Structure 1
Amino acid sequence: MSTKEEDFELLKQLTEIQSCSGNESAIRSFIKDTVEDDCDRIDVDYLGNLICTISGNGKENDKLKVLLDAHMDEIGYIVRYIDDNGFIRFSKVGGQNPRIQPGQQVTIHSTSGEDIIGIIGEKPIHLIEDKERKKTSKFEDLFIDIGFSNKKEVEEYISVGDYITLKQEFTPFKNKNRFFSKSLDDRAGCFILIKLIKEFSRLSDKLDKDLIFLFAAQEEIGTRGATVGSYRVSPDLAIALEVTHAIDFPGISKDKFDDCSLGDGVAIRVGPNLYTKLSKMLVETAKENDIPYILRASPGPTPTDARAIQMTKQGIPCSLISAPLRYMHTNIETVEY
């Protein structure tokens, strides 16, 4: 069993790696290096998914195949234009909140192989007219400054199409059980998958099922990795591991959304996108083992890999479990250990 300090170090490494959708090579390499000695087989497909298998005992055609999924990508940006003064215009990769972008420090992952630090600039408050102060900057008006004076200087390092990610350190709070970082959506799920791989590898001689762990690519731009990954694996059933909104801070109403707070335990989703029998089994397992849990209703397709997995081939029984998280899609996403 790992210690809390070891778990926090793993979470720190996972969340500080910068790998947005379509540019997952760094996080994929780290996870592969972390689990390869614990798996019977590891594959990487054309979309960039990392597929790790622990084989159970028994006849090949008789064994149940269970898929456990978490996405390893994060939200980011992509360079779309460099102006004559050397300022970089960029577009969103995944869902971004324009209200929090100005003043952020970012890393541009140059096709030359060098990581370039930049900042998202903003007018000083002294130079903003009163009528503009209540408005949010439009995304297309934002720009990145990397400290050069003209386009030619910038183009020695940066090209259109280079990926960009936020820069943020993993930081525990004073109470030691809560922490914040970027990309806990869904490196928190990746952390759990890694822990499961380590545990099941020690029990492999007792397994009668094949366990396939899918670290999916490109979830943030449309669950693309899970779509092709689950098609390739073709499991008998699947569970997606995600984060979910904690509704427990000022300015947000549980009446409007639902009752979910940090420390509530695992959130088990129920609804038409999830296989009812499997979700009930998860609830019963939580009850039998005194595992804290809450139920979250999902009246339609969830914006997660579970949506894609459920509709693969002839349909795959799929359930979704999540960790409550505050401030999703910011660089201060907050979780309780």
Structure 2
Amino acid sequence: MELLKTLCEIHAPSGNESAMTDFVLDYVKSNKSKWTVQPKVISGDSFQDCIILVFGEPRTAIFAHMDSIGFTVRYEDQLVPIGGPQSESGYRLTGQDALGPIECELLADDEGGLSYKFGRAIQRGTDLVFKTNFRESQEYVQCCYMDNRLGVYNALKVCETLENGCVVFSCWEEHGGGSVPFLARYIHHNYGVKQALISDITWVTGGVHHGKGVAISLRDRHIPRKKYVDRILEIAEESGIDYQLEVEGSGSSDGRELQQSPYPFDWCFVGAPEDNVHSPDEKVHKHDIECMIALYKELMAKL
């Protein structure tokens, strides 16, 4: 879990993903010699902070968003949320401005107003994130930003044995998206890729539970094409890997942007479920993580 712990500690809220981009690029450079296939690495100014890894002759792409929720400093001591963080007084927030490192306290009033408590004024526009507190037991891992550092972790573990496929690390997902359309265009036009798996984290609910396997989402706010999802279910059933079926009417992911793009992408959200969503205490069962990685390897080989 050391790699996952490191990923959770990286400061990368939506719009400020560059530290995560640098880490992923360094990780790929340091580890790709041990992978089954050496990927082509596509990044740089034309891709902003996003990364595409191309293995062999790709048919399917994994999309994993690198950003997290957080807060932006407004005026005086006010905060504005980035995405949809849980906001309770007493949460510890961290960041840095031109005056130095910051660790402050979140304050939430009865009317929904957010502010911080710190020994000095924090510069406007500074982004803050939950303070990392990584906890590991025999069965669970718990920390802020399992969503979606665990999705990135899964993608990097799949890279170790991936022979054919694209792995796409996107930005801004937690705050409205925006990077997926140009990433989808690139892999569709250059490699003919038109199907995707969304490596992200979903919720523990009345129908999706800890320790029962990775969740395959039949729908959320958006509805993927049934013919594609049925093929995924067929592969999952043949694999013998534990999985659960999710049906929700809310929530979305990078799959939303693929569905709304002008390119004919099939997509399906496949991810481990977590409790305490968008809080400092997101909690995931280790068995579900293992099932997520194993199923992604099967799907990328057979789709």
TM-score (norm 1): 0.75
Deviation at 1:109, TM superposition (A): 2.7
Given candidates 139, 142, 145, the residue that maps to 2:117 is: 145
**Deviations 1:23-55, CA, capped at 9 Å, x for gaps:** 111112111111235222231444422222223
Partner of residue 42, structure 1: 42
Task: Tell me which residue corresponds to 1:251.
Answer: none
Of 118, 122, 145, 1:183 maps to: 145
Equivalent in the alignment of 1:130: none
Matches within 5 A, 1:207-218: 209=164, 211-218=165-172
Amino acid at match of 1:34: Y
Partner of 2:91: 104
2:214: which partner in 1? 266
Sort the Cα spacing of 1:105 and 1:299 in 2 relative to 1 into closer, same or farther, 3 A: closer
In 2, are the aligned partners of 1:81 and 1:160 still within 8 Å (CA)? Answer: yes
**Total equivalences in the alignment:** 272
Q: Which runs of 5+ in 1 are unaligned?
A: 1-7, 57-63, 83-87, 123-135, 149-153, 248-253
Aligned-pair distance for 1:332? 0.2
Name the counterpart of 1:116. 102
AA of the residue aligned to 2:183:
G
Cα distance, 1:227 vs structure 2: 3.0
CA, structure 1 residues 336+231, in 2 after alignment: closer, same or farther (shift >3 Å)?
same
1:242 aligns with 2:200: yes
Q: 1:113 to 1:54 in 2, by over 3 A?
A: farther
Structure 2 contact 70–81 (Cα < 8 Å) conserved: yes
Match 2:61 to one of 53, 67, 70: 67
Unmatched segments (≥5 aa) in structure 2:
33-38, 287-303
One of 268, 273, 276 as aligned partner of 1:319 = 268
Structure 1 counterpart SS, 2:210:
coil
Name the aligned partner's letter for residue 317 of structure 1: D
Report the Cα offset of residue 113 of structure 1. Answer: 8.1
> By how many angstroms is 1:232 displaced?
2.6
Aligned counterparts of 2:100 and 2:28: Cα–Cα separation in 1? 27
How far 1:121 sits from its partner (Å)? 4.4
Q: Is the 8 A contact 1:216 1:226 kept in 2?
A: yes
Q: Equivalents in 1 of 2:196, 2:64: separation in Å?
A: 11
Give the superposition deviation at 1:68: 0.6
Partner of 1:31: 24
Q: Which moved more, 1:274-283 or 1:65-74?
A: 274-283
Q: Deviations over 1:5-34 (max 9, x none)?
A: xxx101100112121100111112111111
1:13 matches 2:6: yes
SS in structure 1 at match of 2:158: helix
2:119 and 2:99 map into 1 onto residues whose CA distance is 19
Once the two structures are superposed, residues 83-130 of structure 1 have per-residue CA deviations (whole angstroms, 9 ceiling, x without a partner) of: xxxxx21100000233x2x111111331x38432222247xxxxxxxx
The match for 2:136 among 164, 172, 181 is 172
Q: Contact 1:35 / 1:197 at 8 angstroms: preserved in 2?
A: no
SS of residue matched to 2:74: strand
Q: Secondary structure at the match of 2:201?
A: strand
Q: 1:90: which partner in 2?
A: 79
Is the 2:217–2:268 Cα contact (8 Å) retained in structure 1? Answer: yes
TM-score by length of 2: 0.83
CA separation of 1:121 and 1:307: change in aligned 2, threshold 3 A: closer
Q: What secondary structure sits across from 1:81 in the alignment?
A: coil
Aligned CA distance change for structure 1 residues 298 and 181 (closer, same or farther; 3 Å): same
Secondary structure in structure 2 of the residue aligned to 1:280: helix
Query: Does the CA contact (< 8 Å) of 1:103 and 1:121 recur in 2?
Result: yes
Distance of aligned partners of 1:92 and 1:121 in 2 relative to their CA distance in 1, 3 Å threshold:
closer
C-alpha root-mean-square deviation of aligned residues, in Å?
2.0
Shift in alpha-carbon separation, 1:242–1:236, aligned structure 2, 3 A: same
Q: CA 1:240/1:113 → structure 2, altered by over 3 Å: closer, same or farther?
A: farther
Map of 2:240 onto structure 1: 290
- Are the counterparts in 2 of residues 170 and 179 from structure 1 also a CA contact under 8 Å? yes
Distance across 1 between alignment mates of 2:285 and 2:27: 23
Counterpart in the other structure of 2:300: none
Q: What is residue 180 of structure 2 aligned with on the other side?
A: 226
Runs of 4+ in structure 1 off by over 3 angstroms are: 44-47
Question: How far apart are residue 169 of structure 1 and its match?
Answer: 1.7
Q: Is the 8 A contact 1:273 1:298 kept in 2?
A: no
Letter in 2 for 1:171: R
The corresponding residue for 1:125 is: none
1:199 aligned to 2:161? yes
CA contact (8 A) 2:41 2:51 kept: no
Aligned partner of 1:160 among 124, 128, 139: 124
